[in-house]
Structure 1
Amino acid sequence: MTRYLSIRLAAMFAGCAAVVFLLAGLALYQVLEEGMARQVRGEAKLRGSWVESEVARVQSESQWRLWLAPKLGAADLERNGTRLWIVSGNAAFRYGTPTPEIEALARAGGFGTLAEAGHPCLLVTWAKTVPGDGDRPEVTIVLAKDPLRFWETLAAFRLALIGFGAAGVLAVAALGLGIARVGLRPLKRLSGQAQALDPNHKHQRLALAPMPAELTDLTASFNGALQRLEAAYQQLEAFNADVAHELRTPLANLIGQTQVVLTRRRDAAELAEVLHSNLEELERLKAIVNDMLFLARVDQGAAASHPSEVSIAAEVARVVDFLDALIEERGVRVTVHGDARGCAETALLQRALGNLLGNAIEHSAAGDEITVAISRAGEHVTVAVSNPGRAIERQHLAHLFDRFYRVDTARRNSGGNHGLGLAIVKAIAAMHRGSVFVRSEQGLNTFGFTLRAPA
């Protein structure tokens, strides 16, 4: 297929026209052919009926020889493209020279066809038996009509159909090409708008107003794609800035401490203290890099490789035991409500639960109660971690699971939280074909995720 849409449309128009002209031409040709065949048979029968009436008047051999034969000869039927034979068992009552083919047509009666040597078409025959009368025995009239002039008319009509049909197809193709080019002008304008888009002006969109209805959806979809690309680009810019900021702090600490140590000679204890501090910063860098690599694998379609059926409440209890020192330090308590069995990879599930509980502990005050609610609804298990806290504004809720997103700088914890915990929860949920959710209502902030329930 050609790469030009206008030529493809013109070719389709031409193909449709060819089919229509072909079918119409065949129908017309068939009608004309049948009409001419009826006319030829009618002429043959008409002349045969005249011969029949003349033969019926003959009752003797003398009448046949002296009156009928000369009259039939004087009629000069062949001048009108007609051949005449009269077949009889008595040679005295014959006319013409009947061949075996003529005798076979006589026995068959009615209409038939006869091939004549050197003639381009078949003769149309008509046979009728005339009962005997007086001394005249029973005879059979065989009359053949030459349809050559009708056949020539059909041939001319056939050539005219082919010629006019071909010309019509070419005309339709040419007109279709022009119509297609005119009809595709809005698409050309749309292409021009798309080529005029500037990467430095990410807010640009294609104009919807002058577009036909058929292109409105395409334009709107393209604009939607541009909007998503702009949002992704902005998110990538923000992500790069956040990554640079997160990496800059521990690197600055490492460089600063190392520079201070190198200003003068230090004893072993001071060097060990600096190395321990540097190790903490290096561990933080390692955690950031590992988390980013983990998120990158999820973005590439990684899924839970070894899911198994587990008790969610039991896994929550293990995570709470692991975080017991932190819970005791912050003076909060954790309660678990409900239980359900879900299909999950244990290590990933514990990591997601640890991130949610760590987030809740970080934003809870001493004496607060953190609640973990586990429930099953249909094919999914829901895990919701709630803690008392300041209400989160609605515009932030949709972005809390984005990477490095924080509601405000007051929540920034340079000690260990680097803004990827909730993003990892979202990634783990996606690896288990689940989803995440967040609510802030009635003094409670709730973060959670869903998992597939076992069948």
Structure 2
Amino acid sequence: MKHSIIARLVMMFAAAALIIFSLIGGVLYAVVKNELLRHERDGLVTTFNDIEYMVSRVGTVDRWARVQTKLDTLTPADGKVRFWVFSDDPRFSYGKDLAELHDFDYDPNNIGRLRIKGKEFPLHTLTKVLPAYLDRPAIRLTIGVDTEPYFETLRTFVAAMIGLSLAGILLVILFGYWIARAGLQPLKKMSDKAQTLSPQTLSERLAVSALPDELSDLAQAFNGALDRMENAYKQLEAFNADVAHELRTPLANLIGETQVALSRERSAPEFETVLQSNLEELDRLRSIINDMLFLARCDQGEAATSLVHTAIADEVQKTIEFFEFVLDEMQMSVEVVGDVDAKSMIETALFRRALTNLLQNAIQHSPAGARITVSIDAQQQDVQVAVSNPGEPIEQRHLPRLFDRFYRVDSARRDFDGVHGHGLGLAIVKAIALMHGGTAFASSKSGKTTIGFTVGGKAA
């Protein structure tokens, strides 16, 4: 079950208040209890001293009768204070139920508790043995004070403390709810603002300056997420438009050529020519779709699995051989430099595909007779493969987006085969690099453009 932040804060306020009131109540209870007990004992000692002074100076039976009368006078009718004198000589005894109360416990300080039949609360007693005097033998004097006021005071205090604590906790809950609502109001405003965002208002941002310090970091992180989402949304819109454009062109060609072919009677050779042209457009469509499916698998986290320990330079040479005819036709050459002995764990088919795209891109954008360089750099953890070609420089603002899908620096540039590519070549290079745990990079300076990628780790 989910709870709101306000409810959780209120519950924590209530728990904190309960703990605090319990601790304070426990301490106050101990203090009050000790003070009441001390006050009761002080009164008991004072009364005992007065009685002891009187009794200790009586040593004859005649005078003892006057002591008994005095004790009867001092004993209240409600029995709140009781006196007992225990003696081996019955003439010098005093008090009710002496036989039953003869033996009871008291501590080394002569303080004890004595329970009397018919009384709910025990008596707080002080006992002392007085030495023999004249005809009187040694006696044991006990004075008991009813503890009902003591326990009733403690009971009243506990009831009051519980009532006040519950009232205090209730007030804490009410004020805590108000404080939590007021304190979380900026968060609610931020939430309401976030709910108003839509694809049409992705450019809006939360005002960080108006938020408390505790929420400013969250707002900045949220604004950063909005920035990334806005960029992704724009790229997705551009991607969808580019996909539609790239698919529309071959489809329009197919439809147009087919309509022209069917507009009048054609001979078999003419239909064969139309079908051949349509086949080229269909092949282009298949290539676009296959590349898009490949990139979709990469986006889902697919990694290179058929890894083999191989020399990078050998795979580079095999890929270059594929372009021999094109290179000869355009009087270009490719030079392999760097660490030609570097080895790594790669999936050869994917590696050649990435390098093929880079070489094709370099050939497309190099003048006739240019020298293209493939450099291999065995770094500490990665093996870097880069293709450099002379040609028109690429502005720095374009470099970060070279690996975006369907992105072209100049859509008017020609392809090596005389047609325009569909803008997925470098995106595939980046995807293959990621599948090998590497990255893709690009630079353009001093009339030379370098684009390359790394594969994950030099083999031992």
TM-score normalized with structure 2 length: 0.88
Tell me how far apart the structure 1 counterparts of residues 179 and 369 of structure 2 sit (CA, whole Å).
Answer: 78
Structure 2: distance between partners of 1:113 and 1:159: 25
2:407/2:423 contact within 8 Å kept = yes
Structure 2 unaligned spans of 5+: none
How far, CA to CA, are the matches of 2:218 and 2:125 in structure 1?
Answer: 68
Q: TM-score, structure 1 length as denominator?
A: 0.89
CA positional deviation for 1:386: 1.9
In structure 1, distance between residues paired with 2:392 and 2:62: 134
Match of 1:215 in 2: 215
Q: 2:425 aligns with which of 414, 421, 424?
A: 421
Q: Which one of 426, 445, 455 corresponds to residue 449 of structure 2?
A: 445
Mapping of residues 296-375 of structure 1, within 5 Å:
296-330=296-330, 331-338=332-339, 339-375=341-377
Residues 334-391 of structure 1 deviation map (CA, whole Å, 9 limit, x = unaligned) = 3132143333323222222222222222222333332223234333332222222222
Q: Letter of the aligned partner of 1:407 in structure 2? A: V
CA contact (8 A) 1:387 1:446 kept: yes
- The alpha-carbon distance between structure 1 residues 131 and 443, as it changes in their structure 2 partners (threshold 3 A), is farther
- Quote the Cα distance in structure 2 between the aligned partners of 1:142 and 1:309: 104
Counterpart code for 1:432: H
Contact (CA 8 Å) 2:338, 2:375: kept in 1 or not?
yes
- Kindly report which structure 2 residues correspond to 1:42-441, keeping only aligned pairs within 5 A, or say none: 42-58=42-58, 60-62=59-61, 65-76=64-75, 81-96=80-95, 97-99=97-99, 102-105=102-105, 110-197=110-197, 199-330=199-330, 331-338=332-339, 339-413=341-415, 415=419, 417-441=421-445
Residue pair 2:123, 2:146 contacting (<8 A) in 1 also:
yes
1:64/1:342 CA distance change after superposition, 3 Å: farther
Paired AA for residue 297 in structure 1? R
| C-alpha distance in structure 2 between counterparts of 1:39 and 1:125, whole Å | 14
Inter-partner Cα distance in structure 1 for 2:107 and 2:181:
68
Instruction: Give the Å deviation of 1:182.
Output: 2.9
Q: Distance in 1 between matches of 2:356 and 2:395?
A: 25
Separation (CA, whole Å) in 1 of partners of 2:108 and 2:156:
33
Letter in 2 for 1:175: F
In structure 2, the CA distance between the partners of 1:379 and 1:107, relative to structure 1 (3 Å rule), is closer
Gaps of 5+ in 1: none
Between the two proteins, what is the percent identity of the paired residues? Answer: 46
Q: 1:405 to 1:389 in 2, by over 3 A?
A: same
* CA apart distance, 1:91: 4.1
Q: Is the 8 A contact 1:337 1:374 kept in 2?
A: yes
* Aligned length, in residue pairs: 454
- Structure 1 pair 444–104 and aligned structure 2 pair: CA distance change class (3 A): same
- Secondary structure of the corresponding residue to residue 397 of structure 2: helix
Q: Is the 8 A contact 1:250 1:281 kept in 2?
A: yes
**CA shift in 2, pair 1:34/1:290, >3 Å:** same
User: Distance between the aligned counterparts of 2:63 and 2:380, measured in 1?
Assistant: 107
Contact 1:426–1:435 (CA under 8 A) maintained in structure 2: yes
* Contact persistence 2:60–2:134 (CA under 8 A): no
In the TM superposition, residue 61 of structure 1 has moved relative to its aligned partner by 4.9
Per-residue deviation at 1:32? 0.7
Distance 2:24 2:107 in 1: 40
CA 1:279/1:156 → structure 2, altered by over 3 Å: closer, same or farther?
same
Q: Is the 8 A contact 1:246 1:418 kept in 2?
A: yes
Work out whether 1:16 is the aligned partner of 2:16: yes
For 1:443, give the aligned amino acid.
G
